[in-house]
Amino acid sequence: MKRSVTFKDIERARKMLGLGDTASMEKVRESYRSLMLKFHPDRHSSSKDKDVYEEKVKEINNAYGIIINYCIRYPISFTRDKVKNIEEGEYQKQHFDRFYSGWVGKE
Protein backbone atom coordinates (compact mmCIF):
# COMPACT_ATOMS: atom_id res chain seq x y z
CA MET A 1 0.00 0.00 0.00
CA LYS A 2 1.29 3.44 -0.93
CA ARG A 3 1.75 5.76 2.03
CA SER A 4 0.26 9.22 1.93
CA VAL A 5 2.51 12.20 1.36
CA THR A 6 3.11 14.38 4.39
CA PHE A 7 3.98 18.04 4.65
CA LYS A 8 7.50 16.98 5.58
CA ASP A 9 7.75 15.07 2.26
CA ILE A 10 6.54 18.11 0.33
CA GLU A 11 8.99 20.41 2.14
CA ARG A 12 11.89 18.06 1.43
CA ALA A 13 10.88 17.79 -2.24
CA ARG A 14 10.46 21.56 -2.54
CA LYS A 15 13.92 22.15 -1.11
CA MET A 16 15.46 19.43 -3.30
CA LEU A 17 14.11 21.25 -6.36
CA GLY A 18 15.28 24.61 -5.03
CA LEU A 19 11.77 26.07 -4.93
CA GLY A 20 10.58 28.86 -2.67
CA ASP A 21 7.38 28.85 -0.65
CA THR A 22 5.43 29.55 -3.82
CA ALA A 23 6.11 28.38 -7.35
CA SER A 24 4.24 28.16 -10.61
CA MET A 25 4.10 24.90 -12.54
CA GLU A 26 6.41 26.56 -15.03
CA LYS A 27 8.96 27.22 -12.27
CA VAL A 28 8.68 23.63 -11.00
CA ARG A 29 9.37 22.25 -14.49
CA GLU A 30 12.18 24.75 -15.09
CA SER A 31 13.91 23.83 -11.84
CA TYR A 32 13.50 20.11 -12.51
CA ARG A 33 14.96 20.37 -16.02
CA SER A 34 17.85 22.50 -14.81
CA LEU A 35 18.76 20.01 -12.09
CA MET A 36 18.45 17.07 -14.48
CA LEU A 37 20.83 18.73 -16.92
CA LYS A 38 23.27 19.48 -14.15
CA PHE A 39 23.28 16.04 -12.51
CA HIS A 40 22.38 13.58 -15.28
CA PRO A 41 24.83 10.65 -15.16
CA ASP A 42 25.34 10.71 -18.94
CA ARG A 43 26.91 14.14 -18.59
CA HIS A 44 29.33 12.67 -16.07
CA SER A 45 30.01 9.30 -17.73
CA SER A 46 33.78 9.63 -17.32
CA SER A 47 33.47 10.60 -13.67
CA LYS A 48 34.39 8.10 -10.99
CA ASP A 49 31.36 9.44 -9.07
CA LYS A 50 28.79 8.33 -11.65
CA ASP A 51 26.94 6.36 -8.96
CA VAL A 52 26.56 9.55 -6.92
CA TYR A 53 24.99 11.30 -9.93
CA GLU A 54 22.64 8.36 -10.54
CA GLU A 55 21.45 8.56 -6.94
CA LYS A 56 21.02 12.33 -7.17
CA VAL A 57 18.86 11.94 -10.30
CA LYS A 58 16.68 9.41 -8.47
CA GLU A 59 16.21 11.91 -5.63
CA ILE A 60 15.37 14.72 -8.09
CA ASN A 61 12.85 12.51 -9.91
CA ASN A 62 11.23 11.49 -6.63
CA ALA A 63 10.99 15.13 -5.47
CA TYR A 64 9.48 16.18 -8.80
CA GLY A 65 6.95 13.36 -8.59
CA ILE A 66 5.88 14.39 -5.09
CA ILE A 67 5.38 18.04 -6.09
CA ILE A 68 3.58 17.24 -9.35
CA ASN A 69 1.27 14.70 -7.69
CA TYR A 70 0.46 17.19 -4.94
CA CYS A 71 -0.39 19.84 -7.53
CA ILE A 72 -2.42 17.45 -9.69
CA ARG A 73 -4.49 16.18 -6.78
CA TYR A 74 -5.16 19.59 -5.26
CA PRO A 75 -8.69 20.68 -6.20
CA ILE A 76 -8.85 23.98 -8.03
CA SER A 77 -11.98 26.07 -7.81
CA PHE A 78 -13.31 27.75 -10.92
CA THR A 79 -16.15 29.50 -9.13
CA ARG A 80 -16.68 33.19 -9.67
CA ASP A 81 -15.82 34.05 -6.04
CA LYS A 82 -12.52 32.16 -6.08
CA VAL A 83 -11.44 33.62 -9.40
CA LYS A 84 -12.41 37.10 -8.19
CA ASN A 85 -10.32 36.62 -5.02
CA ILE A 86 -7.32 35.65 -7.12
CA GLU A 87 -7.84 38.65 -9.37
CA GLU A 88 -7.89 40.85 -6.26
CA GLY A 89 -4.56 39.52 -4.96
CA GLU A 90 -5.82 36.89 -2.57
CA TYR A 91 -3.66 34.23 -4.22
CA GLN A 92 -0.78 34.51 -1.72
CA LYS A 93 -3.12 34.09 1.24
CA GLN A 94 -4.86 31.14 -0.39
CA HIS A 95 -1.54 29.51 -1.16
CA PHE A 96 -0.35 29.96 2.41
CA ASP A 97 -3.61 28.51 3.75
CA ARG A 98 -3.42 25.59 1.33
CA PHE A 99 0.18 24.75 2.18
CA TYR A 100 0.28 25.45 5.90
CA SER A 101 -3.20 25.29 7.48
CA GLY A 102 -3.40 22.30 9.74
CA TRP A 103 0.16 21.20 8.99
CA VAL A 104 2.26 23.37 11.27
CA GLY A 105 3.96 21.21 13.87
CA LYS A 106 2.72 17.95 12.36
CA GLU A 107 4.84 15.19 10.85
Instruction: Write out pLDDT tens, residues 19-61.
Output: 998 888 999 999 999 999 999 988 887 878 888 999 999 999 9
**Residue ranges matching CATH 1.10.287.110 in the chain:** 7-74
Superfamily of domain 7-74: DnaJ domain (1.10.287.110)
Q: What is the DSSP string of the chain?
A: -PPPPPHHHHHHHHHHTT--S---HHHHHHHHHHHHHHH-GGGGTT-TTHHHHHHHHHHHHHHHHHHHHHHHHS----SHHHHHHHHTT-HHHHHHHHHHTTTTT--
Looking at residues 82-107, what average pLDDT do you find? 60
pTM of the model: 0.70
